[in-house]
A and B are shown apart, each in its own frame.
Chain A
Amino acid sequence: MSKAVHVAFVGNPNCGKTTLFNAIAGTNLKVANWPGVTVEKVEGKLNFQGQHFILVDLPGTYSLTSYTMEEIVARDYIMSDEVDIIINVVDASSLERNLYLTLQLLELGKPVVMALNMMDIIKERGLELDLHRLPEMLGIPVIPVSARKKTGLKTLMHAVQHHSERHDDKIEHHDHGAKNSAGTHHHSHHDEYAMVYDDDIEDRIDFITALLKGSGPSMSNYRWHAIKLLEHDAEVMKTITIDLQGLNDKNFETEILNERYTFIEEIMEEVLPDRDMKSESTDRADRLLTHRVLGIPIFLCIMAAVFLLTFTLGDFIKGYLELALEWFGGAAEGMLLNISTNPILTSMIVDGIIAGVGGILTFLPNIIILFIALAFLEDSGYMARVAYVMDGVMSKIGLSGRAFIPMILGFGCTVPAVMASRALENPRDRLKTILATPFMSCSAKIPVYVLISGIFFGGYAPLAAFSMYLIGLMMAILVAFAAGRLDKKKEENTLLIELPEYKTPNPRTVYVYVSQKVKDYLTKAGTTIFMASILLWLLLNFGSGGYVGEGSIADSFAAKMGAWLVPVLTPAGLGFWQIAVALISGLAAKEVVVSSISILFGIAEADSAALSTHFAQIGFGPVNAFALMLFVLLYVPCLAALAVIKRETRSWKWTGVSIAIQLGTAWIVSTLFFQIVSLFIK
């Protein structure tokens, strides 16, 4: 078989690049990624007409300068020998801006095929794009495709196959600018390059090229390096240190940028003469959705609907999963007993692994629904509007409007919420958001609120539970505000976000997005939970004297550890070893707090009547109960959340800081509450 052709997919953010990549790579898709946030390069494979292709999806980028990591990663990869041909994915509905990247790609010297996406939007607007003039102006094949409807894909790959080996086509470009000036430059570059600069810059390029050929390092593309030297590109300036005899004595970046956009304007006049027609449907939707007064209420209604769906529908399905899990646990136990497995091993599998890992699986419906809703909001183009609508509120606590999205998601589950903070560009905004998000009361804490407030607060139970959401939100805002205050580098409000045209969400994009989340959740959280479950079981069932079993749990390591924590928790009204153990076990998952309490007090089910008697016996009253709820709300989230905080911050230090803030606020708030209220209620 002939050598595989490496195809790099390059395009602006939001141009439909990943959707196109998924459509072409099809079932051979290896890894999917976040819409708009391809963090690393992703590979897929394709066999087309006997030719083997390796498809590589690169981060969406507006340009190929070297100011951001994504741009450097993309550029280095495209320039490497590995890449045979570039597919430049272009959003036809914002052709003008997309062409800026195209012009830079052309200068890299590799074959380029343009995939012109979103032509349907052009048609919907009643515009006509000259598909014959565009390739003439650029000197590359231009293939109209629809990533969503999967049309034009074969033609595109056919063009890729043809052009992957034709590096030196002679092309006759549109001789732009020539009609206005006679030109003093002695070379005509229009048969070689689409983008020809003014005479001064072209002269400099020619001179630098000659110098590079004479004494520079060996390279494949002199013209590109010469242009980059004129732009004072940091990376290229580092590698090429030969004396340029003052040819790049000043930075020509702005001149070069303006000339590129001037050429783009010429192209636009030629290919899309009546482009100024309004994109009416998006404008009409925006008049309502980004209304200066109604924008926020509309957003709140949409979010309320999302959470209503997540909780009601999600919990409905979750109930059935729990039944299935219970049955499975029972069946597994029965089977293990039948084959006379060691009772200790049986207990570990049933009470440890199945209860722990299985308990996490039951939250899958909530996660899936939340992410389907999220993918809809994002793929439709609405999410970017939320950042705009909420920018004013968020800027008051030192964050840009974008940071609001992950915080809201924290009401569902901290794990995806922390992951969603990836969409923030500014690393410090990202960190502040990650620190604040765990305080948004996640759905796993609901069982704790329901059980505890049901026992102690009677008719006020719903109010007590609801107060947790408000206190959590207040703490999140306080932490973000404090982090902003401590942040020495004061920055301007950094909101800068593209507002794409509204469109119907594409089922495949939603599917890929959600399945990726599910896979992440199952593998990453699953491995953590698996280990934690075994550890927890060991601590609960073994003591210094060996296996203690369920009857004498008070002799277990867990009980010893709990007793050790009692002095620390006493000021908060939580100085009971059982409570301490429940809180420790809650690190695996917050629901475990509830199940631990029942196991620790030796009750088969979370029976509130029996529990309240037990609580009364050890002197645990309503004030202690509310302090416990506060502590559960604020202290360290589950291990899965900590793991994702570590993964997203890529720093043990910040993971530690996050844990310290949570433990600190949990202890301080519950202690303050317990001490002050105890003064009045005795």
Chain B
Amino acid sequence: MTLYEGKVGRTYSVASINLSTPVRRRLEILGMTEHASVSLINKSLSGAIVIKIRGTRFALGKAFAKGILIEGGAAT
């Protein structure tokens, strides 16, 4: 499942990042490494999302949201 398909209000674990190397590096530096836990906070009508990772909120465009594979999904 990708982050784009995730449910708002749930916390997932990052399985892998399927994006170009520079984008993946940027995300990793922000703490989005494999197995890091990521909470989906908000989703816009156009597919942009708000996530919280390692204590910080980020807004991500739709293409990024679709490139991040996740697993789990506990309610928060």
- Interface residue ranges, A against B (CB under 8 Å): 62-63, 65, 67, 93-97, 100, 254, 257-258, 261, 264, 275, 282-283, 286, 290, 292-293, 295, 384-385, 387-389, 391-393, 395, 400-401, 492-500
Q: Are A493 and B42 in contact (CB under 8 A)?
A: no
Q: Are A401 and B48 in contact (CB under 8 A)?
A: yes
Which one, A95, A494, A495, A497, contacts B55 given CB within 8 A?
A: A95
Q: List 14 A-B contacts (CB under 8 A).
A: A67-B25, A67-B26, A94-B55, A261-B33, A275-B55, A286-B42, A290-B50, A388-B44, A388-B48, A392-B44, A395-B46, A493-B63, A496-B23, A499-B50
Which one, B27, B29, B45, B63, contacts A392 given CB within 8 A?
A: B45
Q: Are A395 and B61 in contact (CB under 8 A)?
A: yes
Give complex CA distance A500, B36 in Å. Answer: 20
Top 9 nearest A-B pairs (CB, nearest first) are A392-B46, A495-B61, A493-B61, A492-B63, A388-B59, A499-B57, A96-B54, A94-B56, A391-B48
Which one, A100, A264, A283, A295, contacts B29 given CB within 8 A?
A: A100
Give the Cβ gap from A468 to chain B, nearest Cβ, in Å: 29
Give complex CA distance A65, B60 in Å. Answer: 22
B41-71: contact bitstring with A at CB < 8 Å (1 yes, 0 no)? Answer: 1111111101001111111111110010000
Please indicate which of the listed interface residues B20, B43, B48 has the most CB atoms of chain A within 10 Å of its own CB: B48
Q: Collect the chain B residues with CB atoms within 8 Å of residue A400's CB.
A: 61
Query: Chain A: which residue is nearest B23 at the CB level?
Result: A492
Which one, B26, B45, B54, B64, contacts A97 given CB within 8 A?
A: B54
6 new A-B contacts at CB < 8 Å, known A292-B42, A293-B45, A496-B58: A67-B26, A95-B55, A261-B54, A286-B41, A392-B45, A497-B59
Give the Cβ gap from A453 to chain B, nearest Cβ, in Å: 37
Q: Are A495 and B64 in contact (CB under 8 A)?
A: yes
Give complex CA distance A385, B30 in Å. Answer: 18
Which one, A261, A264, A498, contacts B57 given CB within 8 A?
A: A498
Give complex CA distance A67, B29 in Å. Answer: 11
Query: Chain A: which residue is nearest B29 at the CB level?
Result: A63
Dominant secondary structure at the B interface = mixed
- Answer whether residue B73 sits at the interface, using C-beta atoms and an 8 A cutoff: no
Give the Cβ gap from A617 to chain B, nearest Cβ, in Å: 55
Give the Cβ gap from B47 to chain A, nearest Cβ, in Å: 7
Q: Collect the chain A residues with CB atoms within 8 Å of residue B47's CB.
A: 392
Give the Cβ gap from A114 to chain B, nearest Cβ, in Å: 17
Give the Cβ gap from A293 to chain B, nearest Cβ, in Å: 7
Give the Cβ gap from B20 to chain A, nearest Cβ, in Å: 8
Known: A67-B25, A94-B55. A495 touches B60 (CB 8 A): yes
Give complex CA distance A257, B24 in Å. Answer: 12
Number of residues from B at the complex interface, CB < 8 A: 36
Query: Chain A: which residue is nearest B46 at the CB level?
Result: A392
- Answer whether residue B34 sits at the interface, using C-beta atoms and an 8 A cutoff: yes
Dominant secondary structure at the A interface = helix
Which one, A258, A385, A493, contacts B34 given CB within 8 A?
A: A258
Known: A97-B54, A493-B64. A391 touches B44 (CB 8 A): yes
Q: Are B64 and A292 in contact (CB under 8 A)?
A: no
Give the Cβ gap from A91 to chain B, nearest Cβ, in Å: 9
Give complex CA distance A65, B27 in Å. Answer: 13
Q: Are B31 and A496 in contact (CB under 8 A)?
A: no
Query: Chain A: which residue is nearest B26 at the CB level?
Result: A496
Q: Collect the chain A residues with CB atoms within 8 Å of residue B56's CB.
A: 94, 96-97, 498
Give complex CA distance A81, B51 in Å. Answer: 40
Query: Chain A: which residue is nearest B64 at the CB level?
Result: A496
Query: Chain A: which residue is nearest B59 at the CB level?
Result: A388
Q: Are B29 and A65 in contact (CB under 8 A)?
A: yes
Give complex CA distance A97, B54 in Å. Answer: 6
Which one, B30, B34, B57, B67, contacts A62 given CB within 8 A?
A: B30
Query: Chain B: which residue is nearest A12 at the CB level?
Result: B56
Q: Are B30 and A295 in contact (CB under 8 A)?
A: no
Q: Are B59 and A387 in contact (CB under 8 A)?
A: yes
- Answer whether residue B5 sits at the interface, using C-beta atoms and an 8 A cutoff: no
Q: Collect the chain B residues with CB atoms within 8 Å of residue A292's CB.
A: 42-45
Give complex CA distance A264, B56 in Å. Answer: 14
Q: Collect the chain B residues with CB atoms within 8 Å of residue A498's CB.
A: 56-58
Q: Collect the chain B residues with CB atoms within 8 Å of residue A388's CB.
A: 44, 48, 50, 59
Give complex CA distance A614, B16 in Å. Answer: 73
Q: Collect the chain A residues with CB atoms within 8 Å of residue B60's CB.
A: 495-496
Q: Collect the chain A residues with CB atoms within 8 Å of residue B54's CB.
A: 94, 96-97, 261, 264
Q: Are B33 and A257 in contact (CB under 8 A)?
A: yes
Q: Are A286 and B36 in contact (CB under 8 A)?
A: no
Give the Cβ gap from A68 to chain B, nearest Cβ, in Å: 9
Which one, B33, B42, B58, contacts A497 given CB within 8 A?
A: B58
Query: Chain A: which residue is nearest B25 at the CB level?
Result: A67
Q: Collect the chain A residues with CB atoms within 8 Å of residue B27's CB.
A: 496
Give complex CA distance A264, B36 in Å. Answer: 12
Give complex CA distance A392, B45 in Å. Answer: 8
Give complex CA distance A97, B30 in Å. Answer: 7
Which one, B23, B31, B59, B64, contacts A499 given CB within 8 A?
A: B59
Give complex CA distance A496, B50 in Å. Answer: 10
Give the Cβ gap from B14 to chain A, nearest Cβ, in Å: 11
Known: A62-B29, A493-B62, A495-B61. A392 touches B48 (CB 8 A): yes
Q: Collect the chain A residues with CB atoms within 8 Å of residue B20's CB.
A: 492
Q: Are B31 and A391 in contact (CB under 8 A)?
A: no
Which one, A62, A290, A492, contacts B61 given CB within 8 A?
A: A492
Q: Collect the chain A residues with CB atoms within 8 Å of residue B61's CB.
A: 391, 395, 400-401, 492-496
Q: Collect the chain B residues with CB atoms within 8 Å of residue A493's CB.
A: 61-64
Give complex CA distance A388, B42 in Å. Answer: 10
Q: Collect the chain B residues with CB atoms within 8 Å of residue A492's CB.
A: 19-20, 23, 61, 63-64, 67
Q: Are A295 and B44 in contact (CB under 8 A)?
A: yes
Q: Collect the chain A residues with CB atoms within 8 Å of residue B23's CB.
A: 492, 496
Give complex CA distance A254, B64 in Å. Answer: 19
Give complex CA distance A486, B60 in Å. Answer: 25
Query: Chain B: which residue is nearest A494 at the CB level?
Result: B61
Q: Collect the chain B residues with CB atoms within 8 Å of residue A282's CB.
A: 57
Q: Are A495 and B30 in contact (CB under 8 A)?
A: no
Give complex CA distance A496, B25 in Å. Answer: 13
Give complex CA distance A257, B35 in Å. Answer: 13
Query: Chain B: which residue is nearest A260 at the CB level?
Result: B33
Known: A495-B59, A498-B56, A499-B59. A97 touches B50 (CB 8 A): no
Q: Are A67 and B22 in contact (CB under 8 A)?
A: yes
Query: Chain A: which residue is nearest B11 at the CB level?
Result: A276
Known: A94-B54, A283-B41. A395 touches B62 (CB 8 A): yes
Q: Collect the chain A residues with CB atoms within 8 Å of residue B36's CB.
A: 261
Give complex CA distance A258, B28 in Å. Answer: 9
